[in-house]
Structure 1
Amino acid sequence: MRFGGQLQERVLTLLLLHAGHVVTVSRLIEAVWENTPPPTAMRQVRKTVAELRRRIPGGAELIATETAGYRIVVGGGQLDLNDFRWKVQEATTEVAEGRPHQAISRLGVATALWRGPVLSGRGGPVIDVAATALEEQYLAALEQLCELRLAVGESAGLVSDLRRAVHAHPLRERLRGQLMLALYRSGQQAAALAEYGTVRDLLAAELGIDPSAELSRLHEDILRGGSEPPASSRSDPVRPAADPSVVPSGAEIRPCMLPYDLADFAGREPESRRLVRMGSDGRTGVVGIDGMGGAGKSTLAVHVAHQLAVFFPAGQLYVDLRGFTPGEKPLQPDFVAAMLLRELGATDTQIPDDAQGRLALWRSWTANRRLLLILDNAVDTAQVRPLLDGMTSGFVIVTGRGRLVDLDGIHWLSIGSMEPEQSLGILTRTLGEKRVAAEPEAARELAELCGHLPLALRIATARLRNRPRWTLRYLVGRLNDESRLLKELSSAERSVATTIQLSYQVLPPAQQRAFRLLGLHPGTDIDAHAAAALLGMTTQDAEDSMEALLDVHLLRQPAIGLYAFHDLVRSFARELWRTTSGDERSLALAGLLDFYVAATDQACRLLFPGRTEYDVTGADPCPILPPTATPAEARQWFDRELRALPAFVTVGLEAGFARLAAYLARNLLFPLHERGDIRRYREVAEVGLSAARRAGDPVAMRFSLRNLVVGHSMLGEFHAAADGIEEGLRLSVAERNPKSEGVYLSQLGWVHSALGRLAQGREFLERAVAVCRATSNDMEESIALCNLSSVCRWLGDDVAAVNAAQRAVALNRRTPMGMHQAGALNDLAMAHISSGDHNAALASLGRVLGLDEDSLMPRDLALTYVLMADVCQCAGRDEQALHFVGRALALVEPLGTKPWQSEIENIAGLIHSRRGDHARALRLHRRAFLHATSVSYRVQVAMALAGSARASEGMGDLAAAEGFRNRAYEHFAAMGMPAPQELSRCVGNHR
């Protein structure tokens, strides 16, 4: 398939690289535009996914929409990457069970799938990182394959394969060593030695380093030629020459204090490789590992230390500095020095009593010795620095929850949540492949609920191992209750909540308060302006507070200026609400609500000029608002905040701020409507009305009820809309409010029309137009005129339809907001098409396409596309018509609004029938029938039946066509609506 450009190429590539897992929209945006996305990035990604679904065979099933983004759904044999990983995993099992030949076969199949770099380096930083990781997986598999072939006795036959691999990856020392060994075994000692000289010169020229100790040892063994050199082993490195260091005391003691290494260690492979490389290169002295509690810092350090042990024959030392141990104080450096000196052989009489003396002795005993030292759970720099002074020839790994920035010359590695594949690796290795393979979806959900944290995953798998009758799905169900999540992720000795609490307890009181209050925010991301309102401080102070929490990994930073909790940390923060006073919570929530009402007012003022404004916050001092000076910046702000703000309306209502919640709900409905997110529109409108009723605010009651009626109507919930209209009309009459009465008459006319009562609908709409005109309500008059145009067209009065739509278009030019301009132009185009004036219709549709695309509602744009298809087809431009039909369906399907879907599917079906694709036309009309029937949208039910009759006759199924035709005529007759001309021709041909 040919791509439509770089955007499609990158989006599809990233989805495939993470097949089976959700890729968030923000991650896709970063992949496409890196650090400079345009304001329309989110909209462009949605359009790109829709276009990919259309262009790829079976694309609708292949790319699934999830809450946070999209997921590629592929089965076995559909994606080389998945097949590669499965074959490598199978080979690992074969090796473990002593079947090397079977492992060679599986690795051969896996490596044969490799096609080279992803996008050949044109994918941008995000995809390049994923591609680099993928290439590393391939090289690891290739090295293991060559290792196994050497182990089963291959040599001469392996040389050519290894030469090709070394040529492609000349700095890969393990491959070079395997080539040297294969050459030596096949009797080519000189060629093997020459390979060492080549790589030595290459490493010196390219990187300024010498070959590794393992490769040098192999070179020496080949040079001596006395016995066959052993094959190298990734898990059992070649032991370097003995360290000449002498223990300062008389005893030659080489202690090993390392805790046991997990036999089922999984995940963190890139970090492990990096640390092993740094520890074995002889140049790196100190490495720090920082990360949130439960991220597996200690486990990673110990695992790496076991791999590095052979490089440090003078001893391997480990000490838990107790920086985050419940009920214990952090160990002082002089106490640690004394403890470690005893392990090295010092007697109590040799160890001074004073701190300075102990540390001086530690420096003298450790100078020039090849020691490996792990300083685990460090709390601050003062605890660590004195212990590093004497480690001139050793290697130190420091772990801590915060980065000790005052330590100079230290290489830091930050770890957080694991990648989903790594989490599944832990589940597979601890529970067994069969148990995980039996419930793959539940396994992914379990990893997600555990936040991809090793500690949480270990606790969860321990519970499952101890309860063999539990399924993964059962445990997922228990973890889905957020109030129980942290309780479930605890055992007798380990607890995620305790781990997080230890990080929280060492914070100063001001930071503890900030942490607690930030947990009140209902969203995933929070910026400095919202945090300032919540915390009651300046934006600079709020940002400093969040940066401090970021330093100790209690917050994450998904993007510059944005901060977020890890899911499990957020659950812990919300548990702390109980320890926060009611007054403090109320004050914080009031400040945040004031901020969001003012901020949404500001954004709506730019995007929807002309809307009625209300002064409701009265906050003192006024909140500092985000810098949204242009419509593009306001839309970008809404793109980010709309994920959380609907939930905050509910929070405001439940917390006792009903009036603010009602006005915030009202502000959110504008961008939700513009985006076509009508389900959330209706949900927010319902909460907004509840808040207005509770607040007893008559103004909020009026607009909230009207907005809910509109939401019901757009979703096809016509009977619920009618109930709201009845209440609204009663209130309008009681309040003597003709302006409001006109709005409800308009809605009542549309509901009657949609339900098939066209004459009544027309009557109410004409009354609504008159009342709106008398009260100078231009926007509502234009909406009523658009609906009146549709009803007149259905009744066969094309002249009245055109006149009503033309008046609506003229009114929209005078309306400051102008958000209904595209809808009025579409209605005018439909009226012209119905009257046979395709040129006038084309002119109207062209004006829609000339509007700012960002301001167009998806439903309006979808209708424009399908009407363009109709006009293009009538003009003989069939290919162009098909293009517009595809774009229309791709836009309307994700909206989930059945009235809109049925209308566009019926027009699309008619277009396919005209071009002779009757099977596709019938499928579209059947879908339209189901959608329209489910909401009693009778006009479109009749249109779907008429279209099905046409398509069935075109397919030669005359009996079915007769059935559809009769049912269609019944509906048209009941509504007083003339049947479409196409149906009449169909009937005439049939007869």
Structure 2
Amino acid sequence: MHERVLVSLLLEPGQVLPVSRLVEAVWDDAPPATAAHQVRKAVARLRQVIPGGAGLLVTEGAGYRAVTDGIYLDLNDFLARLGEARRAAASGSAAGVADLLRRALALWRGPVMSGTGGRLIDAASAALEERRLAAVEQLMELRLNDGEAAGLVGDLVELVAAHPLRETLHAQLMLALFRSGRQADALETYNRVRRLLADELGIDPDTRLTEIRDSILRNDPALAAPPQPHALPAAVPGISVPECSLPYDLRDFTGRERELLDLLDHAREPRGLSPRILAIDGMGGIGKTSLAVRAAYLLAEDYPDGQLYVDLRGFTEQQQPLSADSVAETLLRALGVPGDRIPRDAPGRIAEWRAIAAQRRLLLLLDNARDAAQVRPLLPPSASSMMLVTSRARLVDLDSAHWISLGTMTPESSVAMLADTLGEKRVVAEPVAAAALAELCGHLPLALRIAAARLHNRPRWTIAYLVDRLGNESRRLDELRSGDRSVEVTLKLSYLGLKSKHRKALRLLARHPGRSVEVYSAAALLGTDLDEAEEIMEHLLDGHLIQQHELGYYAFHDLVRSFARRLGGRPSDDEDEESGQEETTALARLLDYYVLATDLACDLAFPGRAELESSLEKGGLSLPLLQDADHARKWLDREQNALCNVVLLAHRGGLHERAAVLARNVVFQLDSTGQFEEYREVALIAVAASRRLGHTSLLRMSLSNLAVAHWKLGRFYEGIDAATEGLQLAVQLEDRRGEAKDTGLLGVLLGALGRFDEALSRLQQSIVIKRELRASRAEAESLTNLSTLYEQWGHYEEAAVAARRALELNQELGARDNELVSLADLATAHLGLDQDDEAQVHLVRALELMDDSSPAADRALVFALSAKAAHRRGERDHAAALAGRALALGRTSRTPIRQSRIENILGGLELGNGRHELALELHTTAHRIAADVSYQVEEARALHGLAQVHQAIGDVALAARRREEADQLFDRLGIAVQFRRSS
């Protein structure tokens, strides 16, 4: 609604639109009763969110008016240029008309609101489209009269395809084809339009088309291009000739509207006493030149004495950057200064350029600058001139410049560029593939254009096929090559512009396994101190070879990373480059850093964990400043992607001890965040690495961690195998702590399979050993598991005792996540004992304690239990809200033992609410999840819940079958009749 209101006002700037007109624009013929009120609210909101909105949208009487004076509006610019073109045509200036039409048409971006604006806006859009097409036809006519032919055919073919009923365009295409020597194609164009008009409208072509057809048939000389005037004489000494040497403006310029408006706003600010400098920097291929050229054309009329362009060759393959004096000579010649008047010495040429430029209103576009020294001498002295500069690195020494740093395009703009360059039909036909292609191109304009060019040249390729080819990172840069354009070559030019130490740093940093690189890990990888690492990173950032999205962290563009990794084995001949052994040494330093840093973080975030002997020493490595548990958790969260990848990198690099030791720390974080599939993958690496090392104690610990991952994922039998092997190794090593750990794990896994007697014995044995060892954190974990076992068995008193002791230990340790689980277990036991008030106390504390960093499965359980407690108190609305949060979190937790339990609890609540279909769905889901992993307690509870639901809806036979199946499982588990319930 807000967009339609704003667009309606901007389509008629300066005109008062009554509220009724705006209502019709928003809702067509079906406005709501509050339509007028909503329009007024929309205007008020627009005034708030648009800078200067109060002055833009003013109230007049019973309506509103858009005041666009002093504001750049492309519609105003478009209409003004068309008006100027009409006046120029009346004065007989064909060249001026063509130039104005080109500039007007360059502003076009398609239908207003892409054709989704409703009846009134679409009508206004259609009127603008008609004016655009009339201007297009006029421009085509001027170009035909100017002697163009073959170069027009492509544009006219596209226009005819887009507007098949515009007979003028067909006539112009026929003429262009005929003048290009394609008489048969010209006649076939006539036949096509004749058939089209007959089929669509039942009419014949107009007389102009027929006359052109007849003239072509008799090869009429009158159809030849009109004679062209002789070329203008060379410049007369002392007289400057207005010059435009700007490159062509891209027809499909896309996606830089915000940056373009920023440039234009600064360019049109009141002039000061010095020339205006607008500078655009960004990585190679980011679209700096395209943006600068578009801005230059839009600003050209403000600089009538010339619009000059020079490629400074700062980063051009196999070419040296131009010197300032050679550029000055080029510029002087462009302004008509004869060669014999141009000084021969460098200072003289620059002085002559500045003297002549001081007398003129010039727009100077210096593209591809190497550094500020190349640009500064060329700055026009006059305040009436402007310099546009593009460079890969920000030219910080160019004083008083207004800088715009170009980043990659948005996903939406990237797809829009593909639609413009490749054709909207192909993109619309494969929208998912088009989005994937944009992603694989890194939203880099050069890469997108190359990809579109490849698809153009291979019409049988689908977008999805190219996406598959680009999916192979090792060949992606090879795929992004078309003709003389190549992403790899563009990046290589930036790379070769670096000093040796920065090249080496770029290659090493590309080996970092994280999505982003913290300065501490960069220092470890580079073998430098923090200050030098930061200086190197900032230098690469200035050159746009790395990016920075948040303070202290740096990141690679995907294509730059691929390029830098490819360089690893191909150093330049003239450099002392990193050998394979040195790269391995750098990786070892990085791993040592991550082992030490995760040791520090885990000791803070997970107090009371077992100590692990390590031969690693700090050895000059700088570690992050982690002051407390919260800082440690945030650091672990931030580095999690890198930590998982670095474990794999260490394993693949044969650094097995580091892989196993680091994995031991990483699993604490993965367990805490509920990422159990990743936990299992890391634990499997640790087991494999420990076996390769023959390190028995590391293997024992790694097997224990693997058993935990299997348990959390419902892979109980695999968990028992891992825990059993771990226990055997612990006994062999006389490792009492390991023995306690693996005995307790066996208890948990046996309990999950419903083997309660065996499980109880194992858990009790584990607790005794842990208590003897004074391993409080480990003891609390086993007490929590014991409480769960008792609760499943229906022994709620014993469950409460175990949970209460676990809670005390976790509170003493400050183990927040484990405290949360203990509170949930204690609340469960009290609910089982019908002690609702006591349960509520613990649930309130749990809700206060948890936050977004707490494991999703644990939060889901607390919400489910809180919903159950609220339901018992008769707070149905509150219970429903809590249940909704529990269900959403539970289904994202990827923990089958928790998810099945939560679904069963909520199924019981919905049955009590009389919502039988939802209860049936929840218990069915719980049964499927539990049965898939042989989690027999929740499987039995799900069957029991299904029996109750079927009984409630009158399906007595099915209820009896489900009840019988549930009772069989309950009997096998030894659960008494009074505890056979689903919640």
TM-score above 0.5, yes or no: yes
1:367 corresponds to:
358
Q: CA deviation at 1:723?
A: 1.7
Q: 2:529 aligns with which of 535, 538, 542?
A: 538
CA, structure 1 residues 132+925, in 2 after alignment: closer, same or farther (shift >3 Å)?
farther
CA contact (8 A) 1:178 1:232 kept: no
Range moving further from structure 2, 381-390 or 892-901: 381-390
Q: CA deviation at 1:488?
A: 1.1
The secondary structure found in structure 2 opposite 1:470 is coil
Q: Distance in 1 between matches of 2:511 and 2:241?
A: 56
The secondary structure found in structure 2 opposite 1:977 is coil
TM-score with structure 2 setting the length: 0.76
Q: 1:315 aligns with which of 299, 306, 330?
A: 306
2:245 corresponds to:
257
Q: Distance in 1 between matches of 2:503 and 2:42?
A: 45
Deviations 1:349-368 (CA, angstroms, capped at 9, x unpaired)? 22222112212221222222
CA, structure 1 residues 831+106, in 2 after alignment: closer, same or farther (shift >3 Å)?
closer
2:348 corresponds to:
357
Deviations 1:572-626 (CA, angstroms, capped at 9, x unpaired)? 1211222431122122212211211111112122222222233535346331111
Deviations 1:790-830 (CA, angstroms, capped at 9, x unpaired)? 33333344444344434444554565657533323332332
Which amino acid is 1:303 matched to? Answer: R
Q: CA deviation at 1:267?
A: 1.6
CA, structure 1 residues 132+750, in 2 after alignment: closer, same or farther (shift >3 Å)?
farther
Q: Distance in 1 between matches of 2:759 and 2:710?
A: 17
Structure 2 matches for 1:784-933, cutoff 5 A?
Answer: 784-812=782-810, 817=815, 819-849=817-847, 851=849, 853=851, 856-933=854-931
Range moving further from structure 2, 844-853 or 732-741: 844-853
Which amino acid is 2:518 matched to? Answer: D
1:269 corresponds to:
257
Q: CA deviation at 1:686?
A: 1.8
CA, structure 1 residues 256+108, in 2 after alignment: closer, same or farther (shift >3 Å)?
farther
1:396 corresponds to:
387
Matched, 1:469 2:460: yes
CA, structure 1 residues 85+973, in 2 after alignment: closer, same or farther (shift >3 Å)?
farther
Deviations 1:60-82 (CA, angstroms, capped at 9, x unpaired)? xxxxxxxxxxxxxxxxxxx997x
Matched, 1:406 2:404: no
Q: CA deviation at 1:956?
A: 3.0
Q: Distance in 1 between matches of 2:653 and 2:639?
A: 20
Structure 2 matches for 1:540-939, cutoff 5 A?
Answer: 540-579=531-570, 580-616=578-614, 618-619=616-617, 621-812=619-810, 817=815, 819-849=817-847, 851=849, 853=851, 856-939=854-937
Matched, 1:488 2:488: no
Q: CA deviation at 1:556?
A: 1.2
CA, structure 1 residues 119+674, in 2 after alignment: closer, same or farther (shift >3 Å)?
farther
Please tell me whether Structure 1 or Structure 2 has the larger radius of gyration of its CA atoms: 2
Structure 2 matches for 1:101-180, cutoff 5 A?
Answer: 166-167=65-66, 171-172=70-71
CA, structure 1 residues 116+477, in 2 after alignment: closer, same or farther (shift >3 Å)?
farther
Matched, 1:511 2:502: yes
CA, structure 1 residues 671+822, in 2 after alignment: closer, same or farther (shift >3 Å)?
same
Which amino acid is 2:309 matched to? Answer: Y
TM-score with structure 1 setting the length: 0.75
CA, structure 1 residues 686+288, in 2 after alignment: closer, same or farther (shift >3 Å)?
same
CA contact (8 A) 2:850 2:859 kept: no
Q: 2:283 aligns with which of 285, 292, 305?
A: 292
1:525 corresponds to:
516
Q: 1:435 aligns with which of 402, 405, 426?
A: 426
Q: CA deviation at 1:885?
A: 1.9
2:208 corresponds to:
none
Superposition RMSD in Å: 3.9
Q: Distance in 1 between matches of 2:47 and 2:944?
A: 49
The secondary structure found in structure 2 opposite 1:286 is strand
Q: CA deviation at 1:852?
A: 6.2
Q: Distance in 2 between matches of 1:316 and 1:979?
A: 92
CA contact (8 A) 2:788 2:825 kept: yes
Deviations 1:385-423 (CA, angstroms, capped at 9, x unpaired)? 111144553222111111112122222111110122211
Q: Distance in 2 between matches of 1:439 and 1:84?
A: 33
CA, structure 1 residues 635+620, in 2 after alignment: closer, same or farther (shift >3 Å)?
closer
Q: CA deviation at 1:299?
A: 1.6
Deviations 1:321-348 (CA, angstroms, capped at 9, x unpaired)? 1110111110111111112222222222
Q: CA deviation at 1:161?
A: 11
Q: Distance in 1 between matches of 2:798 and 2:27?
A: 74
Unmatched 5+ residue regions in structure 1? 1-78, 92-104, 143-158, 185-212, 215-230, 238-245, 986-991
Which amino acid is 1:657 matched to? Answer: L
The secondary structure found in structure 2 opposite 1:820 is helix
CA contact (8 A) 2:816 2:849 kept: no
2:192 corresponds to:
none
The secondary structure found in structure 1 opposite 2:305 is coil
CA, structure 1 residues 456+920, in 2 after alignment: closer, same or farther (shift >3 Å)?
same
Range moving further from structure 2, 875-884 or 626-635: 875-884
Structure 2 matches for 1:198-209, cutoff 5 A?
Answer: none
Which amino acid is 2:634 matched to? Answer: Q
Range moving further from structure 2, 112-121 or 689-698: 112-121
Q: Distance in 1 between matches of 2:444 and 2:661?
A: 40
Deviations 1:533-583 (CA, angstroms, capped at 9, x unpaired)? 111112111111111111111111101222111121111121122243112
CA, structure 1 residues 123+505, in 2 after alignment: closer, same or farther (shift >3 Å)?
farther
The secondary structure found in structure 2 opposite 1:644 is helix
CA, structure 1 residues 597+617, in 2 after alignment: closer, same or farther (shift >3 Å)?
farther
Which amino acid is 1:537 matched to? Answer: T
Deviations 1:810-857 (CA, angstroms, capped at 9, x unpaired)? 554565657533323332332332233333333443443454657854
Q: CA deviation at 1:116?
A: 8.6
CA, structure 1 residues 984+247, in 2 after alignment: closer, same or farther (shift >3 Å)?
closer
Deviations 1:457-499 (CA, angstroms, capped at 9, x unpaired)? 0001111111112121221122121111111111221111111
CA, structure 1 residues 171+636, in 2 after alignment: closer, same or farther (shift >3 Å)?
same
Q: CA deviation at 1:505?
A: 0.7
CA, structure 1 residues 784+319, in 2 after alignment: closer, same or farther (shift >3 Å)?
same
Range moving further from structure 2, 915-924 or 793-802: 793-802
Report percent identity of matched pairs. 42
Q: Distance in 2 between matches of 1:85 and 1:964?
A: 61
Q: Distance in 1 between matches of 2:411 and 2:237?
A: 50
Q: Distance in 2 between matches of 1:311 and 1:163?
A: 39
Deviations 1:207-243 (CA, angstroms, capped at 9, x unpaired)? xxxxxx99xxxxxxxxxxxxxxxx9999999xxxxxx
CA contact (8 A) 1:646 1:684 kept: yes
Q: CA deviation at 1:724?
A: 0.6
Q: CA deviation at 1:756?
A: 2.8
Which amino acid is 2:839 matched to? Answer: A
Which amino acid is 1:570 matched to? Answer: R
CA contact (8 A) 2:941 2:982 kept: no
CA contact (8 A) 2:945 2:982 kept: no
The secondary structure found in structure 2 opposite 1:894 is coil
Which amino acid is 1:749 matched to? Answer: G
CA, structure 1 residues 385+888, in 2 after alignment: closer, same or farther (shift >3 Å)?
same
Q: CA deviation at 1:780?
A: 3.5
The secondary structure found in structure 2 opposite 1:642 is helix
Q: Distance in 2 between matches of 1:555 and 1:609?
A: 37
The secondary structure found in structure 1 opposite 2:569 is helix
